[in-house]
Amino acid sequence: MVIVMKAGASQEQIAHVVNRIKELEYTPHIIAGVERTVIGAVGDERGKGILTTLETLDGVENVVPILKPYKLASSEIKKERTVIRVGKTGVEIGGGRLCVMAGPCSVEGEAQILEVAHAVKAAGAHMLRGGAYKPRTSPYSFQGMEEKGLKLLAKAREATGLPFITEVMDTSQVDLVEEYADIVQIGTRNVQNFALLKRVGKCRKPVFLKRGLSTTISEWLMSAEYILSEGNPDVILCERGIRTFETATRNTMDLSAVPVLNELTHLPVILDPSHGTGVRRWVPPMAFASVAAGADGLMIEVHNDPDRAWSDGPQSLDLPMFSDLMTRLKGYASAAGRSL
Residues that bind ligand PEP (CB under 6 A): 105, 131, 135, 187-188, 210, 240, 275
Report the partner that residue 126 touches, choosing among Mn ion, ligand PEP, none (CB closer than 5 to 8 A by kind): none
The Cα 99–Cα 80 span in angstroms is 19
Of these partners, Mn ion, ligand PEP, none, which one is at the site of residue 187 (CB under 5 to 8 Å by kind)? ligand PEP
For ligand PEP, which is the closer residue by CB, 121 or 275? 275
Choose the contact partner of 121 out of ligand PEP, Mn ion, none; CB within 5 to 8 A by kind.
none
Q: Which does 317 bind (CB under 5 to 8 A by kind): Mn ion, ligand PEP, none?
A: none
Element holding 64 (H helix, E strand): strand 60-64
Q: Phi then psi for 162, rounded to 5 degrees?
A: -85, 125
C-beta of 105 vs 200, nearer to ligand PEP: 105
Distance separating alpha carbons of residues 130 and 103, to the nearest angstrom: 6
Q: How far is the CB of 310 from ligand PEP (least distance, A)?
A: 12
Considering the complex, what minimum distance in angstroms separates the CB of residue 167 from ligand PEP?
Answer: 6
- We find the least distance from the C-beta atom of residue 9 to Mn ion, in angstroms, to be 47
Least distance from ligand PEP to the Cβ atom of residue 274, Å: 8
Binding at 250: pick from ligand PEP, Mn ion, none (beta carbon under 5-8 Å per type):
none
What whole-number distance in Å separates Cα of residue 333 and Cα of residue 96? 10
Given the DSSP bridges, would you call strands 84-85 and 60-64 parallel, antiparallel or unpaired? unpaired
| CB closer to Mn ion out of 182 and 312 | 312
Residue 103 contact, options Mn ion, ligand PEP, none, Cβ 5-8 Å cut-off depending on partner type: none
Contact 226, 197 (CB under 8 A): yes
The answer to whether the beta carbons of residues 319 and 119 sit under 8 Å apart is yes
Closer to ligand PEP at the Cβ: 131 or 149?
A: 131
Q: What residues are paired with 41 via a beta bridge?
A: 28
Of 210 and 266, which CB lies nearer to ligand PEP in the complex structure? 210
Residue 20 or residue 210: which is nearer to ligand PEP going by CB?
210
Q: Work out how close the CB of 66 gets to ligand PEP at its nearest, in angstroms, rounded to a whole number.
A: 29
At 185 the three-state DSSP class reads strand
Q: Cβ 301 to Mn ion, closest distance in Å?
A: 6
Pairwise CA distance, residues 103 & 1, whole Å: 41
Give the span between the Cα atoms of 318 and 326, in whole angstroms.
13
151 neighbors 187 (Cβ within 8 angstroms): no
Name every residue whose Cβ is closer than 8 Å to that of residue 67 and which is 6 or more positions away in sequence.
Answer: 76
Give the C-alpha separation, 245 to 115, whole Å.
38
As measured in angstroms, the least distance from the Cβ of 74 to ligand PEP is: 24
Q: What residues make contact with Mn ion under the rule CB under 5 A?
A: 105, 312
Q: Is 35 exposed, middle or buried (0-12, 13-18, 19+ CB in 10 A)?
A: exposed
Residue nearest to ligand PEP (CB): 187
Name which of Mn ion, ligand PEP, none residue 135 binds, using a CB cut-off of 5 to 8 Å depending on partner kind.
Answer: ligand PEP
